[in-house]
Chain A
Amino acid sequence: MTPHMLTRSLDRGATMFLAIVAACGILIPLSNLLLPAGSFFQVPTYLVALWGKYVCYAILALSIDLIWGYCGILSLGHGAFFALGGYAMGMYLMRQIGTRGVYGNPILPDFMVFLNYPKLPWYWHGFDMFWFAALMVLLVPGLLAFCFGWLAFRSRVTGVYLSIITQAMTYALLLAFFRNDFGFGGNNGLTDFKDILGFNVQAEGTRAALFMLSCLGLIVSFLICRAVVSSKLGKVLIAIRDAESRSRFFGYRVESYKLFVFTLSACMAGVAGALYVPQVGIINPSEFAPGNSIEAVIWVAVGGRGTLVGAALGAVVVNYAKTFFTSGVLAPYWLFMLGALFILVTLLLPKGIVGTFNAWRESSSEKRAAASAAAEGGITEPNMAE
């Protein structure tokens, strides 16, 4: 099997993935809007919102796979970047409420009136403009990741130490955002949104458009990740993942590579959060909970780390299962299942669904190649999956 064939087969998977996402992104909103309600093929609005949520989670999973699967950085704090992006979007949506809030204050959001803020805190300025909020969605998580990564990677904090301090980071943010005087709505977070860019967030059309945008976001994120990992940069990242010290001795500036990919990944997580908030209609500090970030990591593990497609698939599969089980009589057992999933996947399926599938296909095609090579007296190439 030649490397050329391998890239082509991966490309086939990637193309298929993109085609499916694009098809969903177009067909689901269309069926929701155009077909009459109650029709067999009509997707109800609540499902559009639900699947929109899954797509956002898939973007988050992609961002984790980019750093964990390809660079070996296990971040247990990616939920923080997701939530920060969400808060930036939430702040824009809060400013759009205007006088329609309970207290009818044109400038201050309801919770600020309630908590006796004399005026808008400085960091809320500018969020009435969409372009500014959109910029912040990228900038705030990116900047935090840059500073955090700059400190961490430069002093060579690696492996579990990095995981633990990323967890501490999101925990510290959780505590901070819970505070009322922090200026982000405290315990209740930001909610009760009305408009986004002049459209009602509750309207079917807006929901369909948001779903379409989320799918577009997933496609763009996927393409960016593919571009990164299939470039020379991506090869260096994989080298860092597999032998960090050796890559450093070869003369690569390991910390710069890590810093770049970590920041990129945080920006992607921020975008995922920003798309997530208008669809679920609320953002509160519990998004910072360390448990959420770890759960996102398990999506990637289930789907298959280092496969990109697998990460997105894992996010959708695990969250679909979560919705399915927590809404029925099996609800008390969901945590058992989630816990068992963590254990079983790490023990029995370390490559995840997609990774195992790829390995199985490779080994079967290798067998065929070996059979024909034996006939011709050739040699087989080493397995590249590990």
Chain B
Amino acid sequence: MFLIAFAVPAFAGPFEDAVAKFANDDFSDTDEAIGAVASSGNKLAFPIISALQDGRLMADPDSKKVYVTGSDGKSIDAATGEPVASVPDSASAVRLNNRLRRSVDAALGSLTLQSPDLATRLQAAQSVFKSHEESALEPVDAALAKETSKSVKVALGEARAAILLFKPDATEVEKLEAVATIRARGDQEALALLTGMGDQPALVAKAAASAIGSIQSSLAVWSTVQNAWYGLSLGSVLLLAAIGLAITFGVMGVINMAHGEMVMIGAYTTFVVQEVIRTRYPGLFDYSLLIAVPLAFLVAGAIGVVIERGIIRFLYGRPLETLLATWGLSLVLQQEVRTMFGPTNREVGNPSWMSGAFELGQITITYNRLWILCFTLAVFAILLAMLRYTALGLEMRAVTQNRRMAASMGIATSRVDALTFGLGSGIAGIAGVALSQIDNVSPNLGQSYIIDSFMVVVFGGVGNLWGTLVGAFTLGIANKFLEPVAGAVLGKIAILVLIILFIQKRPRGLFALKGRAVEA
């Protein structure tokens, strides 16, 4: 040992001395070296320690030189950071045992706690919070003293509290403060930490118990909020799918089993628009949905008008036949799309403003779901306004209420029929644009919505748009609150059974039309 110490070149500082110790091939020397390097503040400290962890730190016992071999195969001199051409053959990887591995982990933890990258620091603080190793207390304190970012400071404070809670010789005051900090964090992990901390002084245990109670009740509130949000999101999807049906089935009384295929056509319109943009105008990708919405409305609406003129107008007053004919139509449309675009899922991308998520308290809200909710409500409002304030809306309502009287007043009823059906189909197409963002775009897309859509319209009450709105959100929220209890499939079955029973009770839905319209 003595001789070796003398063999080290004279110009070496404390960092270089520490690095050289790695070459001694002695576990206690390596341990000292880890501690010295980690606390040196040298910018090479992190590469050296992480190389040590991965077995990439090479030491030459003859020259006492230590090298860091990068994952790309290039090496540097660990003491100076100078690149070297090649590591001598006599060099071998510095060996570790379990005790040293713990030291390495702790050293890495404290090094990343002071990393210049904010995200890395935050992550390091979180991992200390989870592991709450006593050895991390000092690095955390050191990092806390230097930290400037508020969010990292909070995370470090929580990490410190977690360590203190599990530190046997921490004072009662420290522990009480720690419990308060963790209580303020208030999430699932905080709960796990508090419930798992074992024997504590009476005062601390009492504080912890009350903290557990408060966290549990706040978590219960948040999980309700989360379920409600999921329910709203599902409800908006249901509403979007059903809103067109509320026009064709609800207002016109036409059982359109091909409604789901209108949704599918809207989704495929989005796909085509995105394909064109990808190949021709890649810069416009973020606007693809804005372009697709009117196009999908026109495409699906035009197909709807053709269907009404070609098939449905011959079947007015024969609802069961209409059902069969439109079912046949849905088979034809599906097969047509399958031959044109293939049977597999097509990829429709999210524009940048629709991807990502943000945190609201304890729940995560994704932008696409949020946008779909807003979009659905906007479509609903526009449709409502259209029926109420435009001439076409007035004519539609007139024809629905009394066809012959409307015809006598000079309304071209067959034109209104075609336009109403086109409107319902067009809205289904718009729904397809939105649903393409969250669902697989395949020829079977429509099939998965058709039964749900009918359920929503029938549940809400035929001929009543508000009923459809209430029906969709009720079913969506009920479904999401049943899901954690019963599981996804059983929840859905339960909803179907409940609707079947509900229809027995109120055969015409939540908000039934009264009077003569009922028998028509």
Q: Which residues of chain B (140-187) have a CB below 8 Å from chain A?
A: none
Within 8 Å of chain B (Cβ to Cβ): is A171? yes
Complex contact B335–A161 (CB within 8 A): no
Complex contact A335–B325 (CB within 8 A): no
Alpha-carbon distance A74/B325, docked complex (angstroms): 14
Within 8 Å of chain A (Cβ to Cβ): is B439? no
Inter-chain residue pair count (beta carbon < 8 A): 119
Chain B residue at minimal CB-CB distance from A72: B320
Top 8 nearest A-B pairs by Cβ distance? A342-B328, A339-B331, A339-B332, A335-B335, A172-B496, A339-B328, A346-B325, A346-B321
Alpha-carbon distance A271/B314, docked complex (angstroms): 37
Residues of B contacting A350 in the complex (Cβ-Cβ under 8 angstroms) = 318, 321
What 1/0 flags go to A346-383 for Cβ under 8 Å of B?
11001000000000000000000000000000000000
Taking the nearest CB of chain A, how far is it from the CB of B375, in angstroms? 27
Residues of B contacting A342 in the complex (Cβ-Cβ under 8 angstroms) = 324-325, 327-329, 331
Residues of A contacting B203 in the complex (Cβ-Cβ under 8 angstroms) = none
Q: Which residues of chain B (480-508) have a CB below 8 Å from chain A?
A: 489-490, 492-493, 496-497, 499-501, 503-505, 507
Complex contact A339–B323 (CB within 8 A): no
Residues of A contacting B454 in the complex (Cβ-Cβ under 8 angstroms) = 164, 167-168
Residues of A contacting B332 in the complex (Cβ-Cβ under 8 angstroms) = 335-336, 339-340, 343
Within 8 Å of chain A (Cβ to Cβ): is B311? yes
Taking the nearest CB of chain B, how far is it from the CB of A12, in angstroms? 29
> Contacts A164-B458, A172-B497: A74 and B323 contacting too (C-beta < 8 A)?
yes
Complex contact B507–A339 (CB within 8 A): no
Taking the nearest CB of chain A, how far is it from the CB of B306, in angstroms? 13
Complex contact A347–B330 (CB within 8 A): no
Alpha-carbon distance A258/B504, docked complex (angstroms): 15
Taking the nearest CB of chain A, how far is it from the CB of B325, in angstroms? 4
Alpha-carbon distance A333/B336, docked complex (angstroms): 9
Complex contact B315–A346 (CB within 8 A): yes
Chain B residue at minimal CB-CB distance from A158: B507
Taking the nearest CB of chain B, how far is it from the CB of A200, in angstroms? 37
> Contacts A167-B451, A176-B493, A347-B325: A74 and B320 contacting too (C-beta < 8 A)?
yes
Complex contact A339–B330 (CB within 8 A): yes
Within 8 Å of chain A (Cβ to Cβ): is B455? yes
Q: Chain B contact residues: over half helix, strand or loop, or mixed? A: helix
Residues of B contacting A74 in the complex (Cβ-Cβ under 8 angstroms) = 320, 323
> Contacts A168-B500, A339-B331: A346 and B324 contacting too (C-beta < 8 A)?
yes
Alpha-carbon distance A157/B505, docked complex (angstroms): 10
Taking the nearest CB of chain B, how far is it from the CB of A323, in angstroms? 18
Q: Chain A contact residues: over half helix, strand or loop, or mixed? A: helix
Complex contact B493–A155 (CB within 8 A): no
Within 8 Å of chain A (Cβ to Cβ): is B339? yes
Specify which of B325, B339, B489 is in contact with A175 (CB 8 Å cutoff): B489
> Contacts A335-B331, A342-B329: A171 and B323 contacting too (C-beta < 8 A)?
no
Residue total for A at the interface (Cβ-Cβ under 8 A): 44
Specify which of A148, A159, A338 is in contact with B328 (CB 8 Å cutoff): A338
Taking the nearest CB of chain A, how far is it from the CB of B517, in angstroms? 14
Specify which of B319, B324, B327, B496 is in contact with A159 (CB 8 Å cutoff): B319
Complex contact B500–A343 (CB within 8 A): no
Within 8 Å of chain B (Cβ to Cβ): is A246? no
What 1/0 flags go to A168-186 for Cβ under 8 Å of B?
1101100110110000000
Q: Most chain-B CB neighbours within 10 Å: which of A157, A167, A332, A342?
A: A342
A-B contact list, 20 entries, CB within 8 Å: A152-B504, A157-B503, A157-B507, A160-B319, A169-B496, A172-B496, A175-B493, A176-B493, A179-B489, A301-B324, A332-B335, A332-B339, A336-B335, A338-B328, A339-B329, A339-B335, A343-B332, A346-B328, A347-B314, A347-B325
Alpha-carbon distance A301/B318, docked complex (angstroms): 14
Within 8 Å of chain B (Cβ to Cβ): is A341? yes
Q: Most chain-B CB neighbours within 10 Å: which of A179, A335, A350?
A: A335
Specify which of A160, A175, A333, A338 is in contact with B323 (CB 8 Å cutoff): A160
Within 8 Å of chain B (Cβ to Cβ): is A294? yes
Chain A residue at minimal CB-CB distance from B321: A346
Complex contact A343–B325 (CB within 8 A): yes
What 1/0 flags go to B296-339 for Cβ under 8 Å of A?
00000000000000010011001111111101111111111001
Complex contact A298–B503 (CB within 8 A): no
Complex contact B324–A294 (CB within 8 A): yes
Complex contact A163–B320 (CB within 8 A): yes
Taking the nearest CB of chain A, how far is it from the CB of B39, in angstroms? 55
Residues of B contacting A161 in the complex (Cβ-Cβ under 8 angstroms) = 458, 503, 507
Chain B residue at minimal CB-CB distance from A342: B328
Within 8 Å of chain A (Cβ to Cβ): is B435? no
Residues of A contacting B334 in the complex (Cβ-Cβ under 8 angstroms) = 335
Alpha-carbon distance A172/B492, docked complex (angstroms): 8
Alpha-carbon distance A154/B328, docked complex (angstroms): 31
Taking the nearest CB of chain A, how far is it from the CB of B504, in angstroms? 4
Residues of A contacting B314 in the complex (Cβ-Cβ under 8 angstroms) = 347
Extra contacts, 4 of them, besides A163-B320, A165-B503, A168-B451 (Cβ < 8 A), are A171-B496, A298-B324, A336-B335, A347-B325
Chain B residue at minimal CB-CB distance from A171: B451
Within 8 Å of chain B (Cβ to Cβ): is A215? no
Within 8 Å of chain A (Cβ to Cβ): is B255? yes
Taking the nearest CB of chain A, how far is it from the CB of B178, in angstroms? 44
Residues of B contacting A346 in the complex (Cβ-Cβ under 8 angstroms) = 315, 318, 321-322, 324-325, 328
What 1/0 flags go to A325-345 for Cβ under 8 Å of B?
000000011011011111101
Q: Most chain-A CB neighbours within 10 Å: which of B318, B324, B499, B505?
A: B324
Taking the nearest CB of chain A, how far is it from the CB of B351, in angstroms? 34
Within 8 Å of chain B (Cβ to Cβ): is A28? no
Alpha-carbon distance A332/B340, docked complex (angstroms): 12
Alpha-carbon distance A163/B322, docked complex (angstroms): 12
Alpha-carbon distance A241/B363, docked complex (angstroms): 55
Within 8 Å of chain B (Cβ to Cβ): is A151? yes
Alpha-carbon distance A332/B343, docked complex (angstroms): 11
What 1/0 flags go to A277-299 for Cβ under 8 Å of B?
00000000000001000100110
Alpha-carbon distance A345/B493, docked complex (angstroms): 34
Residues of A contacting B331 in the complex (Cβ-Cβ under 8 angstroms) = 335-336, 338-339, 342
Chain B residue at minimal CB-CB distance from A164: B454
Q: Which residues of chain A (292-332) have a CB below 8 Å from chain B?
A: 294, 297-298, 301, 332
Taking the nearest CB of chain B, how far is it from the CB of A332, in angstroms? 7
Chain B residue at minimal CB-CB distance from A154: B504
Chain B residue at minimal CB-CB distance from A157: B507
Residues of A contacting B339 in the complex (Cβ-Cβ under 8 angstroms) = 332
Residues of B contacting A151 in the complex (Cβ-Cβ under 8 angstroms) = 500-501, 504
What 1/0 flags go to B1-12 for Cβ under 8 Å of A?
000000000000
Complex contact B320–A168 (CB within 8 A): no
Residues of A contacting B325 in the complex (Cβ-Cβ under 8 angstroms) = 342-343, 346-347
Chain B residue at minimal CB-CB distance from A172: B496
Complex contact B328–A341 (CB within 8 A): yes
Alpha-carbon distance A335/B332, docked complex (angstroms): 6
What 1/0 flags go to A74-96 for Cβ under 8 Å of B?
10100000000000000000000
Within 8 Å of chain B (Cβ to Cβ): is A156? yes
Alpha-carbon distance A90/B311, docked complex (angstroms): 42
Chain B residue at minimal CB-CB distance from A151: B504
Residues of B contacting A341 in the complex (Cβ-Cβ under 8 angstroms) = 328
Complex contact B320–A160 (CB within 8 A): yes
